[in-house]
Amino acid sequence: MKKLYGVIGSPIAHSMSPHIHNDAFKQMDYNAHYHAFHIEPDELEDAVKGMKALGVSGFNVTIPHKEAIIPLLDEVDEAARRIGAVNTVVNRDGVLIGYNTDGKGYVEALKEVTMLKNKRVLIIGAGGAARAIFYTLAKEGNIQIDLYNRTASKAVELIQEFSLNHLAKGISSKEAVNTMKDYDVVVQTTSVGMFPYTEESPFPLINIKEGAVFSDIIYNPIETRLLRDAKALGAVTQNGVSMFAYQAAFAFEHWTGQLPDTDRMKNIVKVQLGGISC
């Protein structure tokens, strides 16, 4: 009997997830189908009940439901509970269990372009993605992490809440611009620069550390204004395609016990976005 998986969110029509998961099911000869479900916030509780009643084997959770779904689940993994967001749900014999693969997916992607030990990292943003990335990076150890957010108090609150890294601190926009040359890795987690506002950037880049890594979790466009400016100054740059593939792969692993081909997933996303394979 074919198993059913999916993703819930709003909007959801342009999600890349069905492309990569259905391809992975096919490649691994796994009898399943993945479908995108458009669910509005006032429909979430009924949707979760429906997923359980229909025996849906697992599903992803995206904007705007990652936080709101937590009290509707039977169990929540410790990391997802600490982060305060769920992006993957497993139906285990009628018990819905929530996980967060965003942070793990991001860190795995970042390791493709740099070693993390003894690095000084700046995270831009203090929203859900920043929380997952901060939590996971901090648990790696031996990393100094600073946070910049337009609302400085949110950055400070996030750091105090986790209390995982005594070196972490919140900084202002002015500090971020003036101290950019001190960071080995800069992680952009906000929606600034996302399509269709592709010429926006969190702040101007004046000077950066030689060989610094600039990583943007946005994958549409493939190269944001921040990455374009950083590359012009000699930085190593990384877009959000790898993170998207890894978080999807770890979700797939939660559902099936098998880890799919992440390079194939990345290639599918690039083809869908621009018609160019990697």
Whether the predicted pLDDT of 154 surpasses 90: no
Give pLDDT tens digits for 179-191: 999 999 999 999 8
> What mean pLDDT is predicted for residues 103-112?
97
Whether the predicted pLDDT of 239 surpasses 80: yes
The sign one gets for the Cα dihedral 207, 208, 210, 214 is: negative
Percent of the chain with pLDDT over 90: 77
Q: What pTM does this model have?
A: 0.92
Distance CA 169, CA 149 (A): 11
Beta strand extents in the chain (DSSP E only): 3-9, 32-38, 58-61, 75-76, 88-92, 95-99, 119-124, 143-148, 169-171, 185-188, 213-216, 236-238
Whether the predicted pLDDT of 127 surpasses 80: yes
Q: What's the pLDDT score for residue 105?
A: 98
pLDDT-based confidence at 277, cuts 50/70/90?
A: very low
By three-state DSSP, how is residue 174 classified?
helix
Residues 6+ away with beta carbon under 8 Å from 4? 32, 33, 35, 54, 55, 56, 57
Distance CA 46, CA 44 (A): 5
Report CA dihedral (46, 50, 53, 58) to the nearest 10 degrees.
-120
Whether the predicted pLDDT of 113 surpasses 50: yes
Give pLDDT tens digits for 199-225: 999 988 988 999 999 999 999 899 999
Average per-residue pLDDT for the chain: 93
Whether the predicted pLDDT of 263 surpasses 50: yes
pLDDT-based confidence at 278, cuts 50/70/90?
A: very low
Catalytic-role residue among 2, 49, 52, 66: 66
By three-state DSSP, how is residue 277 classified?
coil
Give pLDDT tens digits for 1-56: 899 999 999 999 989 999 999 999 999 999 999 999 999 999 999 999 999 999 99
In the structure encoding, which two tokens stand for residue 231, read together? Answer: 């590359």
243 vs 70, 86, 156, 197, 278, CA distance in Å?
Answer: 23, 16, 25, 21, 16
Distance CA 123, CA 103 (A): 13
Distance CA 189, CA 109 (A): 14
278 or 159, greater pLDDT: 159
Distance CA 237, CA 212 (A): 8
| 154 given a catalytic annotation | no
Distance CA 159, CA 157 (A): 5
Distance CA 245, CA 250 (A): 9
What radius of gyration, in Å, describes the C-alpha atoms of the chain? 19
Distance CA 196, CA 184 (A): 29
Whether the predicted pLDDT of 227 surpasses 50: yes
By three-state DSSP, how is residue 112 classified?
coil
Whether the predicted pLDDT of 260 surpasses 90: yes
Q: What's the pLDDT score for residue 237?
A: 98
